[in-house]
Structure 1
């Protein structure tokens, strides 16, 4: 019965996923959560760790449930014509291993809280042991946690399906779901509870959403990496000049997102897109502001692109926490809940936003307040390469 319910939910998700834009390989149904159902503060490390332990145990359960779907059911559920099962298994195994490491990090003080319902009797020694322990744990939740658990379990299943669908398509359709070489990074290697902000697709026209986002970050004293489109940058410089634009981005880092927002996996001129944008960045901004990174639109790039990027002195910069702020079905409040929940699960990483949309400027101040001093925000100039 349990697996049947999971399959029904996955198939319902797949019915909407199939209508998503093929080139972006993104979901039309997006994992959303009600963060108010977790009633304890997470703005300091003990509270963050407790919420993290609980979220991880739910997440591991969802990973295990969807991972067990047969190929035919998975293909139907994800709305794909063919399934790269090996890619799905590789992603699921890697994600379960990360969850084990994250649960261990979140449990470092469990010895002090013997009655804490989010602390297992013993920290699992393996990923499979964590999965078994999570299944037993879910059967003995304390009274009053049923609504929280049901809501988070639904979020976790939908999120896992989002990611498994990307894995099912990889590498026929590339994305942030996997890396081709060590010249690509996605945030998984950052230290525990450290996060880097990133913003795609700008700059907007003068006085637009990019400017509002930059002011929000200056007020919050946070920095991030802005992956700029060369065409948008050229238009903005023509309207306001390079000096004014560099001043607007002061305190931030800029990097290339290519000349225009189309898949570099399917565009013959993708190398020119990279070099033209890189040249414009260098002539527009002080050298110290230009990060040696390239973020491919949609995360799509060719499997053999590593040598080109090494020659250009660039690394491919992916992400591991997607806000989905571009999606019309997702509100700023939805973005806040999604980001905070994924921070609890991932415990480190690169957050993806889009400064040409207004949701980040609304959601991020709430995120900053919600997590407080429990996490560290990576200064963009000091981000590890």
Structure 2
């Protein structure tokens, strides 16, 4: 017990520079290289993977008592936390194996990682010398990954009482885990606020960039738009894009008595008015949904569309450029996945173009929205 408490105290001291509820963001200017080719993307990716592995390793020995104290929670779901940690380690190993394929072109952050044991060993001794070319990145990155690790642990600790994107309830729910290396999907939530709606700007930007995204709309918003605009204008707005539903209203679908009607009404409206754009996907607002809904979604021919890269562009504590830099860091860490922007936040007009520009020569790909979640 004494060892566990000492470890907990040590971890708390490590995180003293940032409160547990701080939102992780990393100033990418601390990284000295542009992602101007696929090899340099891999270098940055290996660095972020190793740093996250290092801070994840710090929590592996923490038991239920230590985690309660560290996370500031009265109860924690240890089964969900253990499942999360195991999944994170597997993803890190897989991603590092992909990232080290270019080690013959640039050996920075390349170590002999052959299995989980050697990954843990390298993570345990991962540290940069003071004269390292990357030293200005090291401490900001450690802080970022500590904060991000704590975000994930806290969500797992509260799952499923507070449902979120941290875990799936079944194979009818999808996130970016199954996507190929270097492939990413842009998605856009409707958000909680009514105005402004940047959908017209976003869809035009994507079309000009020869890209597509999946827009998860509220049935109420579509109904309001159709009250003073034609169906043709709605179809023009979403031309070349995909449209899923987020329910009739932006509210939790985990304890709402009429959640099934919310989903059905939205699907009926969107499918009827946007048949060329509609995709059978439901994005739960804030990731909150019921764990016993599999039969309902299967009967409706729907999949639940989650995400694994959240720019937090709805969070008032982050500036738009911080949201973009957070998203890029997570892209380097996870190497593929579903990015979750908010179409009704001003930040998206800065964050998304910055992200696309920064990765334009990095060798990544943007998934066509019609091909995703199939």
TM bucket normalised to smaller:
over 0.9
Q: Secondary structure at the match of 2:181?
A: coil
2:12 to 7, 16, 34: 7
Kept in 2: contact 1:33–1:334 (CA 8 A): yes
Kept in 2: contact 1:293–1:316 (CA 8 A): yes
1:329 to 302, 317, 324: 317
Q: Secondary structure at the match of 1:321?
A: coil
Pairwise CA distance, 1:144: 3.8
Residue 96 (str. 1) matches residue 89 (str. 2): yes
Aligned equivalents of 2:348 and 2:244: distance in 1?
Answer: 19
In the alignment of these two chains, the number of paired residues is: 368
Aligned equivalents of 1:255 and 1:93: distance in 2?
Answer: 31
Q: Secondary structure at the match of 1:49?
A: helix
Aligned equivalents of 2:46 and 2:7: distance in 1?
Answer: 23
| Alignment-derived partner of residue 261 in structure 2 | 272
| Alignment-derived partner of residue 156 in structure 2 | 167
| Alignment-derived partner of residue 271 in structure 2 | 282
Q: Secondary structure at the match of 1:291?
A: strand
Kept in 1: contact 2:49–2:96 (CA 8 A): yes
| Alignment-derived partner of residue 105 in structure 1 | 98
Aligned equivalents of 1:349 and 1:60: distance in 2?
Answer: 19
| Alignment-derived partner of residue 20 in structure 1 | none
| Alignment-derived partner of residue 218 in structure 1 | 207
Pairwise CA distance, 1:72: 2.8
Counterparts in 2 of 1:202 and 1:223: CA distance versus 1, 3 Å? farther
Aligned equivalents of 2:16 and 2:157: distance in 1?
Answer: 15
Kept in 1: contact 2:28–2:325 (CA 8 A): yes
Residue 301 (str. 1) matches residue 293 (str. 2): no
Q: Secondary structure at the match of 2:254?
A: coil
Kept in 2: contact 1:55–1:344 (CA 8 A): yes
What whole-Å deviation, never above 9, does each CA across 1:160-197 have from its counterpart, x for those lacking one?
A: 10011000001111110001111111111100000000
Counterparts in 2 of 1:173 and 1:75: CA distance versus 1, 3 Å? same
1:180 to 137, 146, 169: 169
| Alignment-derived partner of residue 26 in structure 2 | 33
TM-score (norm 2): 0.93
Q: Secondary structure at the match of 1:236?
A: helix
Counterparts in 2 of 1:14 and 1:168: CA distance versus 1, 3 Å? farther
Q: Secondary structure at the match of 1:369?
A: helix
Counterparts in 2 of 1:207 and 1:298: CA distance versus 1, 3 Å? closer
Counterparts in 2 of 1:78 and 1:242: CA distance versus 1, 3 Å? farther
1:315 to 303, 308, 323: 303
| Alignment-derived partner of residue 279 in structure 2 | 291
Counterparts in 2 of 1:372 and 1:141: CA distance versus 1, 3 Å? farther
Aligned equivalents of 1:209 and 1:60: distance in 2?
Answer: 37
Counterparts in 2 of 1:307 and 1:12: CA distance versus 1, 3 Å? farther
Aligned equivalents of 1:60 and 1:137: distance in 2?
Answer: 9
Residue 235 (str. 1) matches residue 224 (str. 2): yes
C-alpha root-mean-square deviation of aligned residues, in Å? 2.1
Aligned equivalents of 1:38 and 1:8: distance in 2?
Answer: 25
Q: Tell me which moved more, 91-100 or 365-374.
A: 365-374
Q: Tell me which moved more, 366-375 or 337-346.
A: 366-375
Q: Tell me which moved more, 131-140 or 265-274.
A: 131-140
Aligned equivalents of 2:125 and 2:131: distance in 1?
Answer: 13
Structure 1's unaligned 5+ residue stretches are: 18-28
1:67 to 56, 60, 69: 60
